[in-house]
Amino acid sequence: MKPIPDDIASEGGRARLILLRRLSDVVSLPESRINAFERSVVADLLIDVLRQATLEDRRRVAARLVHLTDIPNNLCRLLLRDDIVVARELLDECASLNDHDLVGCVNEASADHCRHIAARRGLSETVTHALIQRGEADIIQVVLHNNDARIATTSLEAVVAMSRHTPELCAGLLKRPELRPSSAYVMFWWCNEDERSVILRRFAVSREVLQSSVNDLFALTQDEPKEDPVVKRALQFIERRQRSREAAQASAHENLEGVISVAAEKGLTPELVAEIGLLAGVKPLTAAKILSDEGGESIAVLCKATGLTRRYLKLLWQAMRRPLGTESAVDPRWQRVLVTYEMLAVERAQTVIRYWNWALTSALTPELIHAIREGEEHLIDAFSAAERAAMLALADDLRS
């Protein structure tokens, strides 16, 4: 509602002002004094007067209703969509507003209204979904930092997707209890160094329980006449061995250390990148993603997961033609790589790299590649968790 100039609002004189106050007094009476039907009739009269009231008078009426447990719907709707000066106290403090009231306001009112709603205590998944659907980063930031707000998985995944091009959302996302490793691992590729450290510390989990629960399946699959591709992919994610024996036997460089030594001398080529990936037990596409990472922390994950020593970590860094710095002034990126390498346990590094490999390659079906290239992220619910991760992580690469 637009503010009414004081000279127009005062045309009715003192009688109109008294009427406004008396009607607001009556509509604010407790349930023991007025029933719902009577309150509704009074609200209709009050709304008619409010339409010609000043901004301050409307604000005072709204403030009177804050603690009312049964605000007439039409009156509530009018005041919630009024200027933020009028609506602010209701949005901040009125406990009787339900999800319908709040979602309606989100869909029809201003960004200022939404920021106040986003900060309310006890927001439901329905309301946070509506706020996130607006797609405004500053409002989503308030939602993410509201510890009393509940966010549905699908809504949070939408924010993860948005964070690829709105990196200021990453820090808030990483503090949400609803965030799952699958989303955190894919966010890694566009997070800054501090956020990457949080991801690796918090989400690099062990696979010991998984390994013990399916240990007998490894022998069982050897005896089956036909290999099940679904079982194979799952067991490749779970098994303890990271490096590929088959690739080592076929390699002209004998092992992973050998091919890294050659790469350090000659520089990385697409062929060497592919061979590093195969020897490390990941697909060439995963290796290419890791070895083109600007931040470099993913190289530390690769080396720790495959049991490479610091010597070969350094050689791989040199193969990528990245600076080391000097003894007195170590290059900051190289320093972060070293810290990441020392921080991670082998088992946890393997979990991260295997999730990347599973998500970035096993899930990369022709249908998904088409959806990525055509910009059809709106179809995200049609794909699995791994496919959604691949869609987010590889979107820019596959469109280029």
pLDDT in tens, 23-61: 887 887 777 787 878 878 888 888 888 888 889 989 999
pLDDT of residue 363: 42
Residues 81 and 104 in one domain: no
Residue 300 lies in a domain: yes
Residue 46 sits in the same domain as residue 103: no
Q: Does residue 277 sit within a domain?
A: yes
Residue 307 lies in a domain: yes
Q: Do 313 and 284 share a domain, yes or no?
A: yes
- CA atoms of 44 and 331, how far apart (whole Å): 70
Neighbours of 236 (CB within 10 A): 15
What one-letter code names the amino acid at 269? T
Q: Domain end: 64, 87, 110, which one?
A: 87
Beta carbons of 231 and 362 less than 8 angstroms apart: no
pLDDT at 326: 87
Rounded distance between C-alpha atoms, residue 211 and residue 279, angstroms: 22
Domain closes at, from 63, 87, 111 = 87
Return the structure tokens found at 185: 């691992």
User: How high is the pLDDT of residue 89?
Assistant: 94
Phi, psi of 325, rounded to the nearest 5 degrees: 85, -160
Based on the fold, state whether residues 291 and 387 are members of the same structural domain: yes
Domain that holds residue 133: 98-191
Both 377 and 230 in one domain: the answer is yes
Asked if residue 93 belongs to a domain, the reply is: no
**Helix (H) or strand (E) segment spanning residue 364:** none
Rounded distance, CA 277 to CA 290, Å? Answer: 9
Closest CA to 27 of 14, 16, 41: 41
Q: Do 219 and 72 share a structural domain?
A: no
What is the rounded distance in angstroms from the CA atom of residue 228 to the CA atom of residue 91?
56
Paired tokens of 312? 């070969």
Q: How many helices (H) and strands (E) does the chain have?
A: 27, 0
222 and 328 share one domain: yes
Q: What are phi and psi of 330, to 5 degrees?
A: -70, 140
Token pair, residue 182, equals 């699958």
Q: SS3 for 101?
A: helix
Q: Is residue 29 part of a domain?
A: yes
Same domain, yes or no: 181 and 222:
no
227 and 365 fall within a common domain? yes
Rounded to whole angstroms, the Cα distance separating 23 from 352 reads: 64
Q: What is the pLDDT of residue 216?
A: 73
Averaged pLDDT, groups of 10, the chain, 400 residues long: 45 74 81 80 86 89 88 90 95 94 95 97 96 96 96 90 91 94 88 94 80 73 73 74 89 92 91 91 86 91 96 95 89 94 93 83 46 48 46 51
> What is the spatial distance between Cα 30 and Cα 201, in angstroms, rounded to a whole number?
54
Token output for 206:
């062990």
- Do the beta carbons of residue 352 and residue 301 sit within 8 Å? yes
User: Measured in whole angstroms, how far is the alpha carbon of residue 316 from the centre of its chain?
Assistant: 32
Q: Is residue 206 part of a domain?
A: no
pLDDT for the residue numbered 200:
93
Beta bridge partners of 325: 330
Residue in 34, 242, 376 with CA at minimum distance from that of residue 46 = 34
Q: Are 349 and 382 found together in one domain?
A: yes
Residues 183 and 41 in one domain: no
Same domain as 106, residue 80: no
Q: Please identify which residue in the block is written with the tokens 């009715």.
A: 12
Please tell me the total count of domains within the chain.
Answer: 3
Q: Which two tokens stand for residue 248?
A: 């080592």
Choose the final residue of a domain: 60, 87, 114: 87
Q: In this structure, is residue 281 part of a structural domain? A: yes
* 202 occurs within a structural domain: no
| Cα 218 to Cα 228: distance, rounded to the nearest angstrom | 12
Q: Amino acid identity of 367?
A: E
Distance (Å, whole) CA 400 – CA 378: 20
372 in Cβ contact with 395 (< 8 Å): yes
- What does the pLDDT read at residue 120? 96
DSSP helix/strand/coil, 341: helix
